[in-house]
Amino acid sequence: MAFADYEVLISKDAMTVYKFLMDGTNNSLWRPGVRSVALQSGVLGENGAVYKQTVAGPAGRPIAADFQITEARPGAEIRFNVVAGPARPTGGYFLSTEGAMTRLRFALEYHPKGLQKLMNSMVQKTMESEVAQLEQLKTVIESRPAD
């Protein structure tokens, strides 16, 4: 199993952060490895939405990394499953209010099966890099004007 998580404190309220994250098309604004992302099915920003996403893989090769929102609790939690690509982790964003700020934790978990276990250390490093991108998310959200 591979697991990674990272946490930041964002100078915006929890609903602002939640709404930004629920719109999966925003991924390219804070995750530099995302080459393209678009709503594939469902309703933008709602539970059940599926996003078609392509990310940069080894040597810059494009890799499918489509994901589906599987659980959404407004202002508190968003869970998703990666439904396309060589590694299919599950993940979540967990929000808590601290005064006028939001503590945001991003966690990814991957349970490889069969020969996929040979990729576990590479997947672990990739997941650690992915969750650390919350620093970029913090910068992007804090620089946006208030709704």
Q: How confident is the model over 47-91, as pLDDT tens digits?
A: 999 999 999 988 889 999 999 999 999 999 999 999 999 889 999
Residue 131 maps to which CATH number?
Answer: 3.30.530.20
The CB density around residue 63, as the number of other CB atoms within 10 Å, is 16
Query: What pTM did the predictor assign?
Result: 0.90
Own/partner long-range contacts of 56-60 (Cβ < 8 Å, ≥24 apart): none
Instruction: Look at the chain and report how many structural domains it folds into.
Output: 1
The whole domain housing 89 covers 2-143
Note whether 115 and 97 are within 8 A (CB).
Answer: no
Per-residue confidence (pLDDT) for residue 58, from 0 to 100: 83
Name the band, by pLDDT with cuts 50, 70 and 90, for residue 117. low
